[in-house]
Amino acid sequence: MQHGRAADFVGRVFQYGSVKRAFPTWKDFASNFEKEFFLFDEVADAALTLESTAYFQNGRTIDEYIDSFKALWIKADYPDGRHLVLKFRRGMDPKLSRRLGSITRVGPTTLRSRTG
């Protein structure tokens, strides 16, 4: 633990000289630990998930992936746009993403153009 949040946490404990002085009771330790390492902010938690690989499709159906991605996107309050599309494609099953990327013909964009 030489870097990061855990190292900072341990460093602050050592400033007290002993664990017992830093946390007189188990409850004190647990409370401090939870504040330091547990995320209670749903927006931040969703955003962190989208910045990791935890949201990737990984064998789920495309419908399941779309639903979970949309839920994370809404919770994280991400703006709609190119960045979001790239993130969505990055998390898709690679075969499906390649196939989607190879589609060159875009279909009609309105109901009227589809029905004639």
How does pLDDT run across 8-67, given as a tens digit for each residue? 888 888 888 777 888 889 998 888 888 877 766 888 889 999 999 999 999 999 999 999
Burial class (CB in 10 A: 0-12, 13-18, 19+), 52: exposed
Residue 87, judged by CB atoms within 10 A of its CB (0-12, 13-18, 19+), counts as middle
* pLDDT tens sequence across 97-113: 888 878 776 666 554 55
Domain borders along the chain are 4-37, 42-101
pTM for this prediction: 0.54
